[in-house]
Amino acid sequence: GAVVSQHPSWVICKSGTSVKIECRSLDFQATTMFWYRQFPKQSLMLMATSNEGSKATYEQGVEKDKFLINHASLTLSTLTVTSAHPEDSSFYICSATGQVNYEQYFGPGTRLTVT
Amino acid sequence: AQSVTQLDSQVPVFEEAPVELRCNYSSSVSVYLFWYVQYPNQGLQLLLKYLSGSTLVKGINGFEAEFNKSQTSFHLRKPSVHISDTAEYFCAVSEMRGGKLIFGQGTELSVKP
């Protein structure tokens, strides 16, 4: 089956620093990747949609200068949280859509803690 | 605009009992509907999906769901639950195949022995 990985699985960073999260489709080419954010005991909120080779489309209320998304290849998208603050602490999940059945496959998530 | 409402935030049930997790959606166009399961500190796993065709959809782990267009519902059911079914369940809707998903608030299913 289609596998999506995320790295790192958890990260702790200091307030004011930047952190990069990688999302990779391991055995298929992902034309589109999505980034979601999930607070404890809450649902997933879509942050942005990224297509390979083009700029990401951000959802309303998501700061594009703070959450930088790059989708440089058909198997890799990155989310960089710039100048992180404690309120950015959350569970970040990516998903990737293949070219065959258009199903979204989810990564295992990255737990970000900003101290 | 699309929206998804999961009517129950928590559903406690005894092992081997049947369960139904309710989901209603709102959309001005045809939709694709999904149910996902999330175990603690993990990503989402697809249980089943409705794209077109038969309104009764069977998924993994013995789950099934029925698409009811007139009631704009997509309730998830299982005739006999196991302890291992304890998890968070999310209903989601998309207006495009491969498009962005809008999730409901989630239902925490707790199966007790």
What pLDDT sits at residue B97?
A: 80
Backbone angles phi, psi at B83, to 5 degrees: -55, -40
Name residue A13's amino acid: C
Write out pLDDT tens, residues B71-83.
999 999 999 999 9
Nearest to A111 by CA among B42, B55, B16: B42
Residues B102 and B94: beta-carbon distance below 8 Å = yes
Q: Is the pLDDT of residue A1 over 80?
A: no
Block residue for tokens 């291992």: B84
Rounded CA gap, B33 and B101, in Å? 9
Provide the pLDDT confidence category of residue B106 given band limits of 50, 70 and 90.
very high
A58 part of contact set with chain B, CB < 8 Å:
no
Rounded CA gap, B15 and A107, in Å? 30
Contact call for B97 and A93, based on CB within 8 A: no
Structure tokens at A89: 């602490």
Contact call for A103 and B104, based on CB within 8 A: no
Tell me the percentage of chain A whose pLDDT exceeds 70. 97
Q: Which helix (H) or strand (E) holds B57?
A: strand B56-58
* A-chain residues near B104 (CB < 8 A): 43
Write out pLDDT tens, residues B20-60.
999 999 987 888 999 999 998 888 999 999 988 889 999 99
Question: What are the E-state strand segments in A16-115?
Answer: 19-25, 30-38, 44-51, 57-58, 67-73, 76-81, 90-98, 104-106, 110-114
Rounded CA gap, A101 and A78, in Å? 23
Nearest to A102 among B97, B103, B105 (CB): B97
Nearest to B54 by CA among B67, B71, B36: B67
Angle at Cα A10 formed by Cα A9 and Cα A14, nearest 5°? 150
Name residue A16's amino acid: G
Q: Which residues of B touch A (CB under 8 A)?
A: 36, 41-46, 49, 90, 97-98, 100-106
Tell me the percentage of chain A whose pLDDT exceeds 90. 72
Nearest to A33 by CA among A87, A80, A82, A74: A74
Q: Is the pLDDT of residue B16 over 90?
A: yes
Calculate mean pLDDT across residues B102-106.
Answer: 94
Give the bridge partners for A73, in sequence order.
A76
Structure tokens at A65: 């200068």
- A34 in the Ramachandran plot: left (φ > 0), alpha (ψ -120 to 50) or beta? beta
Contact call for B102 and A34, based on CB within 8 A: no
* B-chain residues near A91 (CB < 8 A): 41
Q: Is the pLDDT of residue A100 over 70?
A: no
Instruction: Name the residue with higher pLDDT: B13 or A52.
Output: B13
